[in-house]
Amino acid sequence: MAAYLIADIEVIDIAGFAEYQQKVPATIAAYGGRYLVRGGATEVLEGSGTPKRCVVLEFPGMAQLKTWYASPEYRPLIAIRERTTKSNLMTAEGM
C-alpha cells in the first residue's frame, strides 16, 4: 500500500533552503519516492489555518518512507530544513 509524506513548510531562510531543495530530490528517488505536489498555490476550503508551502511525497510503502526519512543521505538534510523552515510533517497510507 502506498505511503505519503505530507508537509506544510514555511520557509524562513530562502538562501539556506535552496541547498535543501537542490539535494533532497535524489534522496527521495533513491528510496522509491516521488513528488506529487511541490509548492504551488494552496487554498483552505474548510477549517482554519494558512498553509504555506505544501509538499506531498509518495512512496511504495510505509517501510520505504520511514527508511528514507532515517537514511544517512537524508539525516543531514533534516538539519538544514529545520534551520531554514518551520515545518509540519505527517504520514498517511492510502491507495
Give the CATH number for residue 29: 3.30.70.100
Residue 70 has pLDDT above 90, yes or no: yes
Q: Is the pTM of this model over 0.75?
A: yes
Q: How many domains does the chain contain in total?
A: 1
Strand order in the sheet with 53-59: 34-38, 53-59, 2-11, 85-94
Residue 51 has pLDDT above 90, yes or no: no
List, in order, residues 6 or more apart from 23 with CB less than 8 Å away. Answer: 77
Per the structure, the complete domain to which residue 83 belongs is given by: 2-42+51-94
Residue 31 has pLDDT above 90, yes or no: yes
Q: How far is CA 60 from CA 19, 66, 89, 95, in A?
A: 26, 11, 18, 10
Q: How confident is the model at residue 39, as a pLDDT?
A: 87
